Amino acid sequence: MTIKMMCAVFATVAVFGLAACGDDSKKAGATAGAEDESDEAEETSSPQKSGPPGGLRGKTTYTGEPKAGVIKMTRDEKCAAQHQGDPTQDWLLVGDGNTLGNVVVWIKSGPKAWKDAATKTAPPSAEVKLDQKGCIYIPHVFALRAGQPFSVVNSDQTDHNVHFMGGGSNKEWNLAQAKGAAPITKPFAEPEAVPAIFKCDIHPWMTAVVGVFGHDAFAVTGKDGAFEFKALPPGDYTLQAYHEKFEKPMSAKVSVESEKTVDVAFKAFKFE
């Protein structure tokens, strides 16, 4: 049985409103679970609230014992030669206190003031690059804006193919990329509702996860599990978090108050 089949569908997320810079603390609550199939939250906004902006921050953590296997690269000697022994599968990134990395966290919906501002900003001009080095995708998990410059490069001395498994908004594509070939330049035209997958059909252990968004309120957690979103208009937000070993994103409803920062603890990632 796979991890996806065994993962818990519902779990509790503790949310605590913490005062920012001298404010009194205030407690709040929310429940997180696997996201349903409805996109209703994408189409609606929470009631407008007045006042200066606040923010939210938090961590992604896990329970259980996540276990990553090793990657056997013997089928391609040029891949194996770049590693001392068998490398560990690169989806597993954990830190002290059961923090979980490689999680894409984003705001799915919020008040009209946030939605209006978030969707009007232009995508960054900086190019996001996905490399193939040591027959591994680097970075393993990344996120960017729809319309932001994006390319895939091959730093290896072996051939690859780059297979984007579209999540529904952007078409699937599959292109060969030989050693020394020019970068593949294919920006994403539309946001994806859920992070999508890259794979290499030549080297089946090679995968990467990409989140594509229509705004800047997204993050990819490192091994400390930390994320933060600042300058948010007061109101009710839906926050989501996705890890590739779980079938659906986890959700939390969070109320942001003026000049306060809400702490969100995503504890729903249960490995068995």
The verdict on 23 and 126 lying in the same domain is no
In a domain, 89, yes or no: no
For every residue of 142-175, DSSP letters joined together read EEEETTS-EEEEE-SSS-EEEEEE--SSS--EEE
- Co-location of 117 and 129 in the same domain: no
74 within a domain of the structure (yes/no):
no
* Strand-pair partners of 56: 229, 262
CATH of residue 101's domain is: 2.60.40.10
- List pLDDT tens digits, range 190-202: 999 999 999 999 9
How many domains are contained in the chain?
A: 2
Tokens of 87: 């490398």
Are 21 and 105 in a shared domain?
A: yes
- pLDDT surpasses 70 at 115: yes
Is the per-residue pLDDT at 10 higher than 50?
no
**Do 128 and 62 lie in a common domain?**
no
Q: Indicate the pLDDT class of residue 222, thresholds 50, 70 and 90.
A: very high
Residues 6+ apart with CB under 8 A from 19: 25, 26, 260, 261
Last residue of a domain, one of 196, 214, 232: 214
pLDDT digits (tens, 9 = 90+) for 73-102: 988 999 999 999 999 999 999 999 999 999
User: Which residues span the domain enclosing 239?
Assistant: 1-69+97-121+222-272
Over residues 244-268, the pLDDT tens digits come to: 999 899 999 999 999 999 999 898 7
Distance CA 207, CA 76 (A): 16
**Pair (183, 203) in one structural domain:** yes
The Cα 253–Cα 190 span in angstroms is 25
Residue 78 in any domain: the answer is: no
